Chain A
């Protein structure tokens, strides 16, 4: 094992608790990750010792809060290798980040007949905002198809992106685990004159992310899937693009001047941060970035590739054709998120029995109904792993599945 997972597990208070007298096996990190003590402590420290609004007061703790929040911005900038802190916009979550792009950049730049390209494996958060713009502006949406093996079908990519204004794609599927070839798609999109927006919600927590190397123009992700708290997300964009975009939400904090006749927006990044931000959560995100950086994202990725290979091997070895795992069969082409069907059991029934064994997996459509339709299924069970999972968790999953097979008489 690349990582000392038994030491890492001890950093997460929740993973130490029992459930029905059994250790909790948490396999729903694609929905939200657990939080290390360092993140929880950083947020408590703010509330207990320097709780004050940012960019307002001149008193000591207000300055301390401002410095902590802006310090977190610099940590995030460095973590994704962004050129400037002006490019790090704090939002509520990746969903809001994509909505910001759709409603600010989209409304300013998209006219009837303009083309936006998505893929069939997108989360609803990278489909619905564009459908809203389509309703408003009459734009055309095109979709890069998904193959049976769970990869993007790029055979007709050049034709699909021809004439497009924007290509908005997931860097890693929350259902299939597929790590998509963002750089390749971005190069072809840029050659066609399109901008590239990347939903990196499942990518930034699990792989080293360099927004420049990725070839992206916008990148969206959420703190709560990367060991940080809920309620804060990030939008990164090239400074020149963000500068040219109109403000998104209006209110306090995002203005330079307001008269009864109108307003002048603030400089970046505050232009896009209306209202009091989630200060404690942003500080918590900074602590999460510190935590992941200390372990090292290349090591996290290597661990998850090894764990994905072990999971595929174990589940196939124990259940053979009794289990259908969606997405790429090569661990190196995917993240450690596994949507699966088990016999003819409904995902609800699978997750119910697994819960009895202290194994937390998700059942449902995972906010990707178009992909579910493409796969010809209503729902899947999904186990998603992170840096605090190891082979013992995979074994617990397999044991619980064996118990489910036994219980339902498969």
Chain B
């Protein structure tokens, strides 16, 4: 059982108290995706504005716990200005950090693991403690799964 300080790092609490990129974007031209955690009723809305291959703007709506809110906030800061390809690589790296136990069980694909290691998680590293509290992993990955839907939609339309 990790201590509270390990789960709620200062940077996590900072993003929770002062979430970045809160708001909405006009749809269209932006894409809107909704994520839902039926277990706790958390809701995330992700707006992505894609020009060519680049995510030029991101906004986050919805409500949820500190972990889901700070993960969404950090995600928005990390993917803004990145290409769709980079955002997807970051998503893979983040979800791999969250599911560290499962990948160890399944036998990690060495090539994929190397690719994930090459992606710099930066502030998102602060959420590493969540991986050790299984019931909260879904909170942390909610915004990322929602982003993936939004990007799928953007690419399907492009």
Q: With a CB–CB cut-off of 8 A, which chain B residues contact A352?
A: 4, 7, 133, 136
Cβ-defined partner of B65 (8 Å) among A20, A349, A356, A407: A349
Q: Which of B37-45, B88-96, B100-108 participates in binding chain A? A: B37-45
Partner of A372, one of B41, B69, B136: B41
Are A378 and B8 also in contact (CB < 8 A) when A20-B1, A348-B67, A349-B66 are? Answer: no
Q: CA of A353 to CA of B41 in the docked complex: distance in angstroms?
A: 19
List 14 extra interface pairs beyond A20-B1, A348-B66, A352-B4, CB under 8 A.
A345-B66, A346-B65, A346-B66, A346-B69, A348-B42, A353-B4, A363-B40, A372-B41, A378-B40, A378-B43, A378-B63, A407-B4, A409-B13, A409-B17
Task: Mark B1-27 against chain A: 1 for CB-CB distance below 8 A, else 0.
Answer: 101100110000100010000000000
- Contact A364-B65, Cβ < 8 Å, known A352-B7, A408-B13: no
Point out which of A346, A352, A363, A372 has the most chain B C-beta atoms below 10 A from its C-beta. A346
Interface residues of A in 240-260 (CB under 8 A from B): none
In the complex the two chains form, is B65's CB within 8 Å of A365's CB?
Answer: no
The 8 Å CB contact of A364, one of B40, B69, B136, is B40
Distance between A354 CB and nearest chain B CB, rounded to angstroms = 11
Q: With the chains together, A346 CA to B40 CA distance in Å? A: 10
- Cα–Cα distance between A347 and B66 once the two chains are bound (Å): 10
Cβ–Cβ contact A348 & B4, under 8 A: no
Q: Is the CB of B136 within 8 A of A346?
A: no
Q: Are B39 and A364 in contact (CB under 8 A)?
A: yes
Name A residues whose Cβ lies closer than 8 Å to a Cβ of B. 20, 345-349, 352-353, 356, 363-365, 369, 372, 378-379, 407-409
Enumerate chain B residues within 8 angstroms of A353, measured Cβ to Cβ. Answer: 4
Q: List 8 A-B contacts (CB under 8 A).
A: A345-B66, A347-B65, A352-B4, A352-B133, A365-B40, A369-B41, A378-B40, A409-B13
Interface 1/0s, chain B 36-73, versus A by CB < 8 A? 00011111000000000000000000011111010000
Check: B98 CB closer than 8 A to any chain A CB. Answer: no
Q: Once bound together, how far apart are the Cα atoms of A293 and B39, in whole Å?
A: 36
Contact in complex: B4, A356 (CB < 8 Å): yes
Asked if B97 is at the interface (CB within 8 A of a chain A CB), the reply is: no
Task: Give Cα distance in the complex from A346 to B4, angstroms.
Answer: 15
- A234 vs chain B, min Cβ distance (A): 29
Interface residues of B (CB under 8 A from A): 1, 3-4, 7-8, 13, 17, 39-43, 63-67, 69, 133, 136, 139
Counted as pairs of residues, one from A and one from B, with CB atoms less than 8 Å apart, the total is 46
Residue of chain B at shortest CB distance from A403 = B4
- Among A345, A348, A365, A408, which residue has its beta carbon within 8 angstroms of that of B136? A348
Cβ–Cβ contact B64 & A346, under 8 A: yes
Are B1's CB and A364's CB within 8 A? no
A409 to B18, CA, bound (A): 13
A-B pairs, 9 with minimum CB distance: A378-B41, A346-B65, A348-B65, A379-B41, A349-B66, A349-B65, A365-B41, A356-B4, A364-B40
Residues of B near A365 (CB, < 8 A) are 40-41
Give the residue of B1, B3, B40, B43 whose beta carbon is less than 8 angstroms from that of A348: B40
Q: Which residue of B lies closest to A380 (CB)?
A: B41
Q: Contact check, B8 vs A348: say whether CB atoms are below 8 A apart.
A: no
The CA-CA distance from A345 to B4 in the complex, in Å, is 15
B115 to chain A, nearest CB (A): 32
Known: A346-B66, A348-B65. A379 touches B8 (CB 8 A): no
**Pair B40/A407 contact, Cβ less than 8 Å:** no
- Complex: A365 Cα to B40 Cα, angstroms: 7
Q: Which residues of A contact B69 (CB under 8 A)?
A: 346
A339–B63 Cα distance when bound, in Å, is: 19
Chain B residue at minimum C-beta to C-beta distance from A363: B40
A340 CB to closest chain B CB, in angstroms? Answer: 16
Q: Which of A20, A345, A356, A379 contacts B40 (CB 8 A)?
A: A379
Name A357's closest neighbour in chain B (CB-CB). B4
| Shortest Cβ distance from B41 into A: residue | A378
Shortest CB–CB separation between residue A377 and chain B, in angstroms?
8
A353 and B7 alpha carbons, distance in the complex (Å): 10
Q: Which residues of chain A are near B139, meaning CB under 8 Å? A: 348
A387 and B48 alpha carbons, distance in the complex (Å): 53
Least Cβ distance of A280 to chain B in Å? 30
Identify which of B41, B43, B63 gathers the most chain A CB atoms within 10 Å of its CB: B41
- Bound-state Cα–Cα, A388 to B46, Å: 46
Residues on the B chain within 8 Å of A20, using CB: 1
Write the nearest CB–CB distance from B119 to chain A, whole angstroms: 28
Least Cβ–Cβ distance between B42 and chain A, in angstroms: 7
Q: Contact: B41 with A364, CB < 8 Å?
A: yes
Query: A352 CA to B136 CA in the complex, in Å?
Result: 9
Smallest beta-carbon distance A282→chain B, Å: 31
Q: Output the residue of A347, A348, A356, A408 with the most chain B CB within 10 A.
A: A348
Identify A378's interface contact among B3, B13, B42, CB under 8 A: B42
Closest to B42 in A: A378
Q: Is the CB of A407 within 8 A of B8?
A: yes
A169 CB to closest chain B CB (Å) equals: 24
